[in-house]
Structures are given as structure tokens and as C-alpha cells.
A = this chain, B = another copy of it.
């Protein structure tokens, strides 16, 4: 049996630490060898080597990706949306510069195009070097990668040109902030075809319940239907308890429309339906 070694004397020189002051919590991984640092016009991108979680990317000091746990995030940002749609062909990813969500989307043989628009090329540069496994589909002929403003891109995109829009952004401060607004959601609705799905990472149900309510209310206000929130595990994000929220241009029961036919580590049909189960406090929050 592995030995538990609790120790209240955390040596901050040897740890990659994210403190999350609004919740009064912190998460840290042992090992703090800095492999990479780049300051873009938008944010600071750093990569560290941890002792037991592989490489770690931080953006402005917040955990973004670790080698150990990113599989849950990237699978749950992509497959539940794609399998909730009858026949997704054209997928747009806003953010997602580490390319992990793009890789998952391109596992689907029915997808004809996957367009990734991240404002910051430095994220992709760091991912290609330190998370090459996430970037292995970047040269797929169906992939198109751009490093421009996703809000501007969406405003200029053709009507009814996408089946799925995945908003795989940083938190709703800094460069990600505009991706949580009614004007942006209105453009997303216009760009989606009938039956199209929007999915957005929506922070922690335990810590950010009001944000989840705000996102879903904004979607209802601009004309999306059937909004719902899925839960999944993300140990390196505050509380380890994360969510993505979904809505549809039209009706959706959020059941998987097909069995899982792509290789995964976390997602499968049972997890699909299980992740959409709503905890009681979330149900209660929407009824109050």
C-alpha cells in the first residue's frame, strides 16, 4: 500500500502552486523546473515539469493543462457535444490553443472541418513543444488553425455554417471575457445550423454556480434552447470539480445519438448520460 506522508511544511520553491483567492483554496504539484516562458500581448504562458503529473502549462499563473489529467477535459469538451448531434460535419473551436480539443474532434470520421481560432499563438507554440500528443492532428487536412480574435471571427462567419461551436476558453477575465457575453452568443446562434450545439467550459459547479446560471440565462435570452450543464473531474482546476454547459439551436434531449466509436480514456456512452445528470443543488438553483 502506498504511504501517506502528510506534511504541513510546503516548500514553495519546489512546487507549482496556483492559489485561487476567491475560494480560498490552492492546488500544487511537486516539481517546479521551468521549461518555457513567453509573454504574449495577451497573457503569460509558462510550462513546468512536474514530478508526477508530467508537463504543466500555466496561463497568467493559472493551471491550464497537465499531461496527467487533460484527457478528461478534452474528451468532455468534445465528445458529449458531437454525440449529442445527429450528424456533425463542421466544428468550430474558439480558444483551445493547446489543440487537445481539436484532436478529439478530429477522431470523428464524419467531421469534415474543424476550425480552431485562438487569439494567442504562444499557447499553441508551447503545446507543440511540450504537449506534442495534443497536437498530433494539427496537420489533419480537415483542420484549420488560426490565431486571431474569435469574437471578430464569429461576427464575420457565414450564417448556418457550423454544427458545433466549442468555446474552450480561459476563465471569464482577460482575453476570455468577451466569450461570455450576449453579443457573442447571438453571433454563435446565427452561425450554427438548425440543431447546432454550443458548448462552453463553465467553471466549477461548487464555486461558480452563479456564472453557470448567467451563461445559461444569456443563452435563453438570445434564443438557444434546452440548456444543460455536464460535470466532470479536472483535478488541476480549482476544486477539481468542473463543468461545461450546452445549449441547442432547436430541441435536444442530450442523449448520445450513436455509440462511442472513437478511442477514449474517459468518455463512453454511459459517461455521456451520467455526466448530464444534474446534481440536486443545480436543479434547485434553476428553480429558485
Contacts and interface: CB of A to CB of B under 8 A. Distances in A.
A277 interface: yes
A202 to B, nearest CB: 13
A259 interface: no
Interface in A1-49: 1-10, 12, 15-31
Interface residues of A, number: 69
A183 interface: no
> Nearest 10 A-B pairs (CB), nearest first?
A240-B240, A6-B61, A274-B277, A274-B274, A24-B52, A24-B30, A270-B277, A233-B241, A5-B21, A235-B239
A83 B268 CA distance: 25
A6 B25 contact: no
Contacts of A18: 6
A194 interface: no
Interface in A171-190: 171-173, 177, 180
Contacts of A206: 68-69, 233, 235
A136 interface: no
Contacts of A17: 7-8, 10, 26
